[in-house]
Amino acid sequence: MIELCDCRKTFISKHAQAPVVALDGVSLTIQTQQFVCVLGPSGCGKTTLLKAIAGLLVLDSGEVRIDGAHVAGPGSDRAMVFQNFALLPWADVISNVAFGLELRGAPKAEREAKAHALIVAVGLSGFERHFPRQLSGGMQQRVGLARALAVDPDILLMDEPFGSVDEQTRRLLQEDLLALLDRTRKTVVFVTHSVDEAARLGDRVVLMTPRPGRVQEEVDVPLPRPRPTDVELNPIFLERKEYLWQRLQAMQTR
């Protein structure tokens, strides 16, 4: 279980007269194996929240706990997937996927076997020796997902991972992600700007206010898992999507 307790984070900007408050008193509980989407306007602190869970930044006040333990830095129980892929340009696909295992000292044969299995799982069989520059954006993001899963984290932190690909590729990646998670049962915190994506993927959507970032509302999405590929026809999906859009629109037009 992930707990954020009254978290506050400010940043000093050389262009701003006052510190920028990214998170202001954010409290949130995410249950084990739950898929939570974080939705809100640009600049509302979504990525800051994700980095706080990852242990990549120090909060001004408040605390993040995982299974009751204080988060003081990155840990092997968490892995991040970024929007910009963050692949090693000089390394081929199998080396990129195995990179985290290499850092942990896994033997070469073991890490390459696990990397190969995940490459197959994300639909990239035959591309093991290709380099990132030889892959499309969607293929690069599959490599990033496989790399995160290779270290077998309990928690997957995803920062708009499908935001830079076309709509068709985005839908395919969403379906691939859901299929992988149905098998591996991870806890997922997924940052997105897309109302459709939040309602399609999440068990729950955390709606954040414009900066300073606060939790405005938490919306359950009571759709069954595994999610069908035509989930957009489900009345619950349509109702939740419309509700989220109205709430988001209202925040940005005040």
The pTM assigned to this predicted structure is 0.90
Q: Is residue 232 part of a domain?
A: yes
Query: Could you tell me the pLDDT band of residue 108, with boundaries at 50, 70 and 90?
Result: confident
Please give the pLDDT value at position 170.
85
Q: Is residue 215 part of a domain?
A: yes
Residue with tokens 């409290």: 27
- CATH of residue 58's domain is 3.40.50.300
Separation CA 112–CA 123 (nearest Å):
16
| pLDDT of residue 253 exceeding 70 | no
Query: Could you tell me the pLDDT band of residue 16, with boundaries at 50, 70 and 90?
Result: low
Query: Could you tell me the pLDDT band of residue 151, with boundaries at 50, 70 and 90?
Result: confident
Q: Is residue 29 part of a domain?
A: yes
Q: Are strands 155-159 and 20-30 parallel, antiparallel or unpaired?
A: unpaired
Burial (Cβ within 10 Å: 0-12, 13-18, ≥19) of residue 185: exposed
Q: Is residue 52 part of a domain?
A: yes
Q: Dump pLDDT digits (tens) for 32-60.
A: 999 999 998 888 889 999 999 999 999 99
More confident residue, 39 or 181: 39
Please give the pLDDT value at position 167.
84
Interval 128-155 mean pLDDT? 90
Please give the pLDDT value at position 106.
84
Give the domain range for residue 36: 2-77+153-252
Mean confidence (pLDDT) of the chain = 89
Query: Could you tell me the pLDDT band of residue 87, with boundaries at 50, 70 and 90?
Result: confident
Interval 156-173 mean pLDDT? 85
More confident residue, 86 or 199: 199
Q: Is residue 120 part of a domain?
A: no
Please give the pLDDT value at position 189.
96
Q: Is residue 130 part of a domain?
A: no
Degrees (nearest 5) of the Cα angle 32, 102, 80? 35
| CA distances to 32, 66, 81, 98, 153 from 3, in Å | 11, 6, 20, 30, 17
Q: Is residue 102 part of a domain?
A: no
Indicate the number of domains in the chain: 1
| pLDDT of residue 238 exceeding 80 | yes
Tokens (6 digits) for 191: 């940052």
Q: Is residue 71 part of a domain?
A: yes
Q: Dump pLDDT digits (tens) for 59-74.
A: 999 999 999 999 999 9
